Chains A and B, each alone.
Chain A
Amino acid sequence: MYAYDKFDHKLVEARVAEFRDQVERRVKGELTEEEFRPLRLMNGLYLQLHAYMLRVAVPYGTLSANQVRKLAHIARKYDKGYGHFTTRQNIQYNWPKLSETPDILTELAEVEMHAIQTSGNCIRNVTTDQFAGAAADEVADPRPYAELLRQWSTFHPEFSFLPRKFKIAITGAPTDRAAVKWHDIGLILKKNDKGEVGFEVLVGGGMGRTPVIGKTIRDFLPEADLLSYMEAILRVYNEQGRRDNKYKARIKILVEALGAEEYARQTEAEWERIKDIPIDVPAEEIARIRAFFAPPPLPVLPDEVDGVTSLAKNNFIFASWVKNNTHPHKVPGHVAITISLKPHGGIPGDATAEQMELVASLADEYSQSEIRVSHEQNLILPHVAKKDLPALWTDLDEAGLGTANVGLLTDIIACPGLDYCALANARSIPIAQNITNRFDDMKRIQNIGPLKIKISGCINACGHHHAGHIGILGVDKKGEESYQLLLGGSGAEDASKATILGPGFDEFGIVDALETVVAVYLGEREEGETFLETYRRTGPQIFKEAVYGAA
């Protein structure tokens, strides 16, 4: 993992001290809310429906065991004993007091964490593949580049007041687990014919009220040119992005307006102008950062383990967990495991302080003290020996963390929705709970197979409903919650935009409609076909007729 140098420490400590002073002045009445609001937002502090919410950055979703223990401590000491992991790979606390937030930030700084750039019209936390550095299918570890981007973008003076927020995602594997095509900038690591590492560069992806899939503007950018090229993309956006209308201010709108070819042309022209001034870091600096992410020294072990095979024969849930929650690792005899934060009937992404502490201990014992957060709101132990799976699962299961549903119907993304969020129009979490209660049978969901359900409580789409195989969007219909059903989206390398099937439902009707959609799929699917494949083959009509009746 990356370790702060003296500059990083100084930077974060100075920011905490500055915010402590700002909070004190606000409490004394020396700052009005109008003056204070932009200052608190620059430090990740929002005001939600019931309380303040503090959004803490988890750079590229990577955490150490000690950091997770600190997150647990903060949840217990300053909050109500739990935290919420988000689709941005961050963690949010739902109940901090204003006067205590400087203390929280002080404690975070002790473990090299902060809440900088988790809000505001700046470059936000860079996100990536949760299996980075572990995945068997990886071309290169994306984290050194994500860290380079973090350092470059932190307090970048030119890009601190962009037309709108800006999100960069990067994947090091051809299988896209980071939804890069749905980001303002998406980066796909690849190797060229000479075996050199570089990036395919996409711009203009985004969800929200105008869902757009990003477009490739460069097939191969050498790794040495990453920062200058990012600077060129951002400059074109910063100059021409709309500032007159916040709903049309994201880069996707500019890319649509100019066309991707023109956006590429302007980026290349700007890049030609600036690429020879020293923006890019020397190769030694990339090598220095890369050294922090050196693969752990894992021994090569047998892939077949008797203890796993025998327990799987006798325990269906364990067998399902091994099948669904483990992911191929670079080193034989190892896997990355996903700890589902989606217990049936539970709140997607929530973890208690006790659960976080257990995960930290298990990471120390079984996974090189490393933990990841996925954009699908789960936690990952990236380096686990297969022989340890029975003991690990037993410990997780006892703590309510052994749900074997990763990638299946009940592994639902849900935004906080109207239960917490000031922007929401409808609740999201209860819909997820109703669905997981309805489909509370592992054999049934296993038979249904890979299926990604994503729920948002408003059109801002924090729950990624546009990218759901099945998406659900909560809206306000004359003061009542109403839920639209969308089908056919994908956040993966085959990215697609889900389309609305028809009129909305109430909170119970939406679950019935979803069950009908699943039944149509089961009736229509051909051998080995996933839900998304069936939908793409048949189109929406048969689903529409089943849900709404024949026209």
Chain B
Amino acid sequence: MAKKITGPQMIIANRLDDGRAVFFTRNGGWSPETDEAAYADDDGIEALLAEATKSADKNIVLSVEAIGAVLNGDKAYPAHIKHAMQAKGPSVRADLGYQVSLDWEAN
């Protein structure tokens, strides 16, 4: 059973057609970039998750999940390496993954 997450959290999912990891944004959409990602604390995460899950019901995304986040100013980033990997693409194919434009080492 997954451990209960505490502290800042954000919402991750996979896009239906290509499976790419995406984050629920502050304006109610989904983005592969974390810059616009919505986040909430323990009190607000359930409401945020419920809002995000409505998108899944419309078959835009699947596997909607709240994950731990770290905050830098007003931006949230995935706390765990697994989700950081989802944001950036596989570390071993920086030439081919969607992370091409990102600097793996800098993050």
Residues in chain A within 8 A of chain B (CB atoms)? 26-27, 29, 33, 47-52, 80-82, 95, 97-99, 347, 418-420, 424-425, 427, 429-430, 433, 479-481
Query: Once the chains bind, are A50 and B96 in contact (CB under 8 Å)?
Result: no
Number of interface residues of B (CB under 8 A): 26
- Chain A nearest CB from B98 CB (Å) reads 7
> Please, how many angstroms separate the alpha-carbon atoms of A425 and B83 in the complex?
11
The CA-CA distance from A48 to B85 in the complex, in Å, is: 12
When chains A and B are docked, how far (Å) is the Cα of A80 from the Cα of B98?
Answer: 11
* B interface residues (Cβ-Cβ under 8 A, vs A): 14, 16-21, 56, 58-59, 62-63, 79-82, 85-86, 89-93, 96-98
Given A419-B90, A420-B90, A427-B91 in contact, is the A49-B85 Cβ separation under 8 Å? yes
B86 touches A479 (CB 8 A): no
Residues of A within 8 A of B58 (CB): 29
In the bound complex, CA of A511 to CA of B22 (Å):
34
Query: A49-B82, A50-B19, A51-B18 are known contacts. Are A419 and B92 too (CB-CB below 8 A)?
Result: yes
The answer for the CA separation of A148 and B84 in the assembled complex, in Å, is: 45
Contact A97 B59 (CB under 8 A): no
Q: Which chain B positions have C-beta within 8 A of A433?
A: 92
A47 touches B63 (CB 8 A): yes
Q: Which residues of B contact A50 (CB under 8 A)?
A: 19-21, 86, 89-90, 97-98
Find the residue from B16, B20, B80, B92 having the highest chain A CB count within 10 A.
B92
Query: Chain A nearest CB: distance from B105 CB in Å?
Result: 13
Report the separation of the CA atoms of residues A251 and B14 in the bound assembly, to the nearest whole angstrom.
Answer: 34
Known pairs A29-B59, A81-B96; A430 contacts B91 (CB<8 A): yes
Count of A-B contacts judged by CB separation below 8 Å: 70
CA distance A283 to B14 in the complex (A): 51
B62–A49 touching, CB < 8 Å = no
By a CB distance below 8 angstroms, the chain B residues around A47 are: 14, 19, 62-63
Asked if A479 and B79 make an inter-chain contact with CB atoms under 8 angstroms apart, the answer reads: yes
CA distance A481 to B81 in the complex (A): 8
Collect the chain B residues with CB atoms within 8 Å of residue A420's CB. Answer: 90
25 contacts between A and B (CB under 8 A): A26-B59, A27-B17, A33-B62, A47-B19, A47-B63, A48-B19, A49-B82, A49-B85, A49-B90, A50-B89, A50-B90, A50-B98, A51-B18, A52-B19, A80-B93, A80-B96, A97-B18, A98-B16, A420-B90, A430-B91, A433-B92, A479-B79, A479-B81, A480-B81, A481-B81
With the chains together, A481 CA to B86 CA distance in Å? 15
Q: How far does the Cβ of B49 sit from chain A's closest Cβ, in whole Å?
A: 16
Q: What is the CB-to-nearest-CB distance from A345 to chain B, in angstroms, rounded to a whole number?
A: 10
**Do A419 and B18 touch across chains, with their CB atoms under 8 A apart?**
no
What is the CB-to-nearest-CB distance from A82 to chain B, in angstroms, rounded to a whole number?
8
Q: Please name 20 further chain A to chain B contacts, defined as beta carbons within 8 Å, in addition to the given A427-B92, A479-B80, sorted by A numbering.
A: A27-B59, A29-B58, A33-B62, A33-B63, A47-B19, A47-B62, A47-B63, A50-B86, A50-B89, A51-B19, A51-B20, A52-B18, A80-B93, A97-B18, A97-B19, A98-B18, A99-B17, A427-B91, A433-B92, A479-B79
